[in-house]
Structure 1
Amino acid sequence: MEKIKTIIHEEPVLKGPILIEGLPGVGNVGKLAAEHLLDQLKAKKFADIYSAYFPPQVIVDEDGVTKLVNNELYYSQADGKHPDLIILIGDYQGLTPEGQYDLSDHVLQLCQKYGVDTIFTLGGYGVGKMVEQPRVLGAATTKELVDDMKTKGVIFSKGEPGSGIVGASGLLLGLGKVYGIKAVCLMGETSGYFVDPKGAEAVLRILAAILNVEIDFSELVSKAEQIDLITSKLKEIESPVEPRKEDLGYIG
């Protein structure tokens, strides 16, 4: 098998599309945001990307039918408000540094084929604690993009992220700059402990405003409430209730 194999199911006619990347990562923030976006836009799948850089496994659905793990490309054509979009989602990222580079380069070559000149990568910024109101931090390939994103509510904070951006969300910026493609990374704060719909909502609200896309966030809000309920129960288990002072006389 080729290291990377792309099967094109349809050749969409697009004009200067914007690529949105939302692959699995910290808190699955980018994955949740991108999948919610494509569901809202009723985007159509036009390509599957298979690779020896993905884990050697298949996914089995509820009916017992298997699917080889992959990445998928969807498109949504301009509607008079938002521009043409290509959305990249998937089951996994590459398992090795070589795989990460090759897959990102492969996606960028596809981007050139369809005339992409701007990329938004979506991800999570792990802070190691629960966050009530996640910030959205950013990184971009030019100072002009940084200044523009600041007006949209994206935070560019010195030293955050201190260790850089790992994986496709970072490589599509780095390699994209080599290809002459403008790129921005939007990172929603997340504990990193759970799948985080709250971080995904924060990222998607800013992206939706940038792209002029109307989004119903009720599903993400509902998922966030479920996560909050789980975490509150875990806190109760970890923090046993101390006895009241008036009860102390009955102890021992």
Structure 2
Amino acid sequence: MHKICMVIDLDETLVHSSFKPISNADFIVPVEIDGTIHQVYVLKRPFVDDFLQKMGELYECVLFTASLAKYADPVANLLDKWGVFRARLFRESCVFHRGNYVKDLSRLGRDLHKVVIMDNSPASYIFHPDNAVPVSSWFDDMSDSELMDLVPFLETLSKVDNVYSVLRNCNNPLNSQTPTQQQQGGQVLTQISQGPMTQVQPSPPPLISQQHQQDQQQQQQQYQKDYEESKDGPS
């Protein structure tokens, strides 16, 4: 059996970036915009290194960000020193829906009951709310521990046959507890099989459908020019 596919957001989930200088920046990434090179200052969320290594052991990890590739790709190169991300998807892979860039998980070529998305923006997973593990937005709080707090829950989630059996309960609007709080209270553990962790087969199916790859190639040039639609800064 394949590992569950975990789709992970970048900005305000794993890092925070700014065009304004940050004295304790972990990375400084040059980005060309309209012929001018801008320095982007990047802060890593606390425990992100340990978190990514652990998720790489448990899941088939995919980076999926609404940011442009020319910013996000070099940041991912610096952040993912272990090659955790099996694929990287950027703004051109999103669906622009009602003013938001939405991440359509059905395009991944994976059974949706074996896909999880971890994102700080509910608009990003509006098509697939029952696949979501919500996280709070992070900017610069160095006392934040949310990534590590989520690890026990995500370890257990990685062993289930169907993520909906867990996440539909966690994301019920009548349930005010976060996955972390539920994990600590033992409410989720009683619902989840404690069977062995699944393994990746030697030759998994393509991560992105062939048609979607063609669509990406056709749209790539246009999106490179669409900087007026980009955020004031990477976010």
TM-score using structure 2 length: 0.26
TM-score using structure 1 length: 0.25
Higher relative contact order (CA closer than 8 Å, sequence separation 6+): 2
Q: Which has more radius of gyration?
A: 1
